[in-house]
Amino acid sequence: MKVVVVSGIWPPDVGGPASHAPEVAGFLHERGHEVDVVTTAWAPPAQPAYRVTAVPRDLPPGIRHLRGAALVRARARAADVVYTTGMFGRSLAGAAAARKPYVVKLTADPAFERARRRGVVGGDVDEFQRLSGARLAVLRLARDVELRRAAHVFCPSEYLRALAVGWGVPAGRVEVLPNPAPRIPELAPREDLRRFFGMNGATLAFAGRLSAQKSLELAFAAVEAVDGVSLLVAGEGDERARLEALAGPRVRFLGAQPRERVLELFRAADASILSSSWENFPHTVVEALAAGTPVIATDVGGVGEVVADGENGLLVPSGDADALAGAVRRFFADDALRERLRARAAESVHAYDRDAVFSRIERALADAIR
């Protein structure tokens, strides 16, 4: 097959699609398929074993979108199928112009994400489904056309699949595909990693994009409420300056980190923390568990489909700082609980084998071509 992979972000960007798209592209290349990547970037991206072409992000929005659609079209004309993890409107326009099928990897509600970026709405995804208005209707129409025209739609969670079917995407074309567990490289001993990161005592870790949806101020409040607990934050995003101003003395920012360093951070930490107000199926939850580290998280979106309360982590209601602080306090006060959760963490994501997950994408692409 000749496959065009489309992603709005790409390394060194931080976030789920910036991890997923290169992994899929690499897998397809390893399997002998021709891969061409279209993305956006501030600077020309590194070139792996396949071609990566980026539309400059400093272009004005309208021009950037037209250039992206034209680039997808140009690459798709020489390909068999398009696999898109973002830039759905540009992917639809480019694939349709090239008369090629496309397969979507959905990570959120595109209409909600666009409305939030424009400052039209706040709140979370579930609240957004109940809102009305002309501007929202236009955004929803664009989303529905983009997804209904897709040959196949993958969702990382049953939560998001149910939403997509509710938007009118035929149920037979929407499939749950969990994010794969990373292959853990040979890591240094945990105590050595703790020294490397300067961990002294009870330590939590967060890794991801520093965005509003992560509600990190709740994690900061939980750390502040529990004596002796520190938090290390790996990642970048438009919320960093605000969050640094809010963070207490036991919160330390590490900036953007390569994926192996994130896995080392999780291995070294006592637990990963996720305080998001909305999520789908965050990559970092699977990464932390694969590294053998329990997860303390808010029970939003598809998080509860991978984190089992009392088995490989602890779950609390979203937006409840006291409940999150209580879970952190309980975790560090109960040695038996802490060891039980750590012992079960890695085995809980064994079913998310990389090759098994990506082989399903490969089959869907082949089916789309047929």
Q: Report CA torsion sign: 179, 180, 185, 191.
A: positive
pTM above 0.85, yes or no: no
* Model pLDDT for residues 244-268, shown as the tens digit of each residue: 999 999 999 999 998 899 999 999 9
Contacts of 269 (CB under 8 A, 6+ apart): 199, 203, 204, 205, 232, 293
Please check whether residue 300 is in contact with residue 279, taking contact to mean a CB–CB distance below 8 angstroms: yes
Task: Please report the pLDDT score of residue 280 as a whole number.
Answer: 79
> Which residues in the chain land under pLDDT 50?
none
CA distance from start to end of the chain? 11
Task: Please report the pLDDT score of residue 151 as a whole number.
Answer: 98
Between CA 197 and CA 201 the distance in angstroms is 12
Between CA 77 and CA 42 the distance in angstroms is 26
Task: Please report the pLDDT score of residue 59 as a whole number.
Answer: 97
Between CA 301 and CA 303 the distance in angstroms is 6
- What tokens does 69 get? 């659609």
273 in helix, strand or coil? strand
Instruction: Supply φ then ψ for residue 231, to 5 degrees.
Output: -135, 130
What is the CATH code of the structural domain delimited by 190-349? 3.40.50.2000
> Which residues lie across from 5 on neighbouring strands?
37, 83
Task: Please report the pLDDT score of residue 181 as a whole number.
Answer: 86
The stretches of the chain forming alpha helices (DSSP H) are 16-30, 61-77, 88-98, 110-117, 125-130, 134-148, 158-166, 190-196, 216-225, 240-246, 259-268, 283-290, 321-333, 335-345, 354-369
What is the CATH code of the structural domain delimited by 2-180+353-369? 3.40.50.2000
Task: Please report the pLDDT score of residue 298 as a whole number.
Answer: 97
Task: Please report the pLDDT score of residue 359 as a whole number.
Answer: 96
| The CA-based dihedral angle spanning residues 300, 305, 306, 310, taken in that order and rounded to the nearest 10 degrees | 80
Between CA 165 and CA 148 the distance in angstroms is 10
Domains in the chain: boundaries: 2-180+353-369, 190-349
Please check whether residue 261 is in contact with residue 12, taking contact to mean a CB–CB distance below 8 angstroms: no
132 in helix, strand or coil? coil
Distance of CA 172 to the CA centre of its chain: 24
Task: Please report the pLDDT score of residue 334 as a whole number.
Answer: 97
Task: Please report the pLDDT score of residue 271 as a whole number.
Answer: 98
> Which residues lie across from 232 on neighbouring strands?
205, 252
